Amino acid sequence: MTKVLDIQNLTVKFGEFIAVDNITFSVEKGEIFGFLGANGAGKTTTIRALCGLVNISGGKMFIDGKDVSKNTKELKPRIGYMSQKFTLYPDLTIKENIVFSGALYMMSEKETLKRMHEVFEYVNFKENPDEIVKNMSGGSKQIISLAASILHNPEIVFLDEPTAGISPVSRKLFWELISKLSSDGKTIFVTTHYMDEAEYCGRIALMQSGRIIALDNPQNLKAASNASDLEQAFINFLDKK
Amino acid sequence: MTAYGYGKKAKMKETLKKIKAIALKEYRHIMRDKFTLTAGFGLPLFLIIFFGFIIELNYDKIPVFVKDNSRSAQSRAFVQKLFAGDLFKPSYVSGEDPIKYFERNETAVFINIDKDFGKFISYPQNGRRAQIQILLDGSDNSKAGLVLSYIPSIISNAYDGKQMYKIKTRFIYNGELNSKYFIIPGLIVVIIGLISILLSSLTIAKEWERGSMELLLSTGISPAEIILGKILPYMVMSLIATVVVFTAAQIVFAVPFTGSFVFFFVSCCVFITACLGLGIFISVIAKQQQLAMLISMPVGLLPSMLLSGFIFPIENMPLFFRILTAVLPQRWFMEICRGTFLRSAGFADLTIPFFALSGFCVFIVILASKKFKTDIEP
């Protein structure tokens, strides 16, 4: 397997506050890699650092062997990023938002819309593309955001709590889409609060106070902490610390 | 698939496509936002008409109290000649100390006619001439200055220059000394400057507040591409606002335009870009709409009103302020606007203001791009 992401001793500080504290891990091509942890554990900051959106204080990050800090502009088109917050434009229609996102990745309107329909069809999303986004449910907005982040066929997709606020049915479809992307060779880096979702991940890193306290596949994590499910495993690891 | 290339031409194509995408998105925001539309089109029209009517530097019917101690036919004739026009509104008073009238703010001008006025007006004797005393309320110095300059010339004209002063004044340009001709071109600068700075100051801050800046920056778009993409639709909007204000100046206030339209239009584009750049710079620094609005109001309004030469002449300012005005786009566009409107000036006459304005424009757009933070954490 090829290492797509290689993170060595990554540290991110904001003033005195250490958001990410000397973490080291790597992610293989086509893997679904999960980040689990409470709010403030450093999951989002790590993703943002990998997307070149925050200045790092120490360590190295490589995507496909290229230093992220030195090749940000070149690497950005190769990644897809879906933020925890809804970052599209509420006063634009679904189609306008998607076409805009595609244009920033140099895609034509035609190919953008084709890709949008593929994604929407896959997750059984039935909203009218000419509808203004403002009036939509949180779940619909998440699906539009996901579509916008994978339009340009990125090699690595960073998803920061992608399923927050969407219905259980949509969640299941969402994860099926993520699994499909992975089987197509895309590398998925995902953070979540839902322990049942974490089971879909090939490997999981448990994070606390900016540090990785455990990293393995779900079965091994459960076994190592004598837990029957991931939630208990997470609690047991926290207790050990 | 994505169409990224590595040649110079491909890079340029990529940049243009991104700028176009931002501009189109911004155009859609503008068209769906009632506040922006009202501020962009309604406000300039309202301001030019409102300020055009209330900023009045011409006076008429200034109350003047006259105490005629002479009570002669000559003194009455003198008063009649003095107040023949509409500039003054005379009232006869008697007895009371003139200072009392000033204290009660009943008048700003008091004319005291000497008791021997009638006797000496036609036949000065032994060096004695007819005397009048003019008392002025110096607390309103613009009115006092006007009266002081008008009365001697009126008297001089009334007596064919024989008895009093002989003052001859001739004004070139704005020969009627109509303050509207002076004020309206200046107002165009104030209004377009304010609107451009105000509207653009919100755009980047809005992206930060909404979180959409995160999306934009994750795509690898550069600050310059974002800024240029945002300037374009606001440029069109501000140009339309300029046409509205220009038309109002012509139709409502009948201000003549005597210069070169092409030069005026090009200068407008440069001035608008400079102001939009300034607004975007504020937005980049503030990152919050409310703060951006708070900064852009004084930045948009105060230099235009106080330091552009709109009301107060730059040459009368202390050295520090004269130097300060040199870095204000409003000051240079004020010269271009008044020059093209009133003095038939073109590029050859206004080279320095044009290049100063262009210099500021380039400087502020580069500064805004440099100050643009591309990391999203605090």
pLDDT: which is higher, B377 or A144: A144
Give the model confidence (pLDDT) of B314-364 as tens digits.
877 888 988 999 999 999 999 999 889 887 888 888 999 999 999 999 999
Q: Which positions in chain B touch A73 (Cβ < 8 Å)? A: 220, 222
Among chain B, residues having any CB pair with chain A shorter than 8 Å are 1-4, 14, 17-18, 20-21, 24-25, 28-29, 32-33, 210-212, 214-222, 374-378
A15–chain B nearest CA distance, Å: 9
Q: Does A148 touch chain B (CB under 8 A)?
A: yes
Mean pLDDT throughout B17-28?
A: 94
Q: Which positions in chain A touch B29 (Cβ < 8 Å)? A: 89, 91-92
Q: Does A111 touch chain B (CB under 8 A)?
A: yes
Q: Which CATH architecture has domain A3-240?
A: 3-Layer(aba) Sandwich (3.40)
Residue B212 to residue A48, Cβ atoms within 8 A: no
Mean pLDDT throughout A181-195?
A: 90
A90–chain B nearest CA distance, Å: 9
Residue A106 to residue B14, Cβ atoms within 8 A: yes
pLDDT: which is higher, B317 or B141: B317
Q: How far is CA A144 from CA A62, A89, A211, B200, B317, in A?
A: 29, 11, 32, 28, 58
Domains of chain A by residue range: 3-240
Query: Chains A and B: how many Cβ contacts under 8 Å?
Result: 96
Q: Point out the least confidently predicted range of A119-133, B40-54, B281-295.
A: B40-54
Q: How far is B130 from B309, CA to CA, in rounded Å?
A: 42
Give the model confidence (pLDDT) of B194-227 as tens digits.
999 988 998 999 999 988 999 999 998 999 999 9
Residue A100 to residue B24, Cβ atoms within 8 A: yes
Average confidence score pLDDT of chain B: 83
Q: What is the ipTM of this complex?
A: 0.88
Q: How far is B178 from B344, CA to CA, in rounded Å?
A: 17
Q: How confident is the model at residue B165 (pLDDT cuts 50, 70, 90)?
A: very low
Residue ranges of domains in chain B, CATH in brackets: 8-55+178-371 (no CATH), 62-158 (3.40.1710.10)
Instruction: Outline where chain B has alpha helix (H).
Output: 8-32, 34-37, 43-54, 73-82, 98-103, 117-122, 141-158, 179-210, 212-218, 223-251, 261-286, 289-302, 319-325, 329-342, 351-371
Residue B20 to residue A100, Cβ atoms within 8 A: no
Give the model confidence (pLDDT) of A35-59 as tens digits.
998 888 899 999 999 999 999 999 9
Task: Please say if the pLDDT value at position B53 is more than 80.
Answer: no
Residue B213 pLDDT: 92
Given a contact cutoff of 8 angstroms between Cβ atoms, the answer to whether B17 and A120 are in contact is no
Residue B254 pLDDT: 85
Identity of the residue in A77, A83, A90 whose CB atom sits nearest the CB atom of B215: A83
B52–chain A nearest CA distance, Å: 36
Residue A91 to residue B29, Cβ atoms within 8 A: yes
Cα(first)–Cα(last) distance of chain B, in Å?
Answer: 35
Read off the pTM: 0.77
Q: Chain A window 168-197: which residues touch B at a Cβ cutoff of 8 Å?
A: none
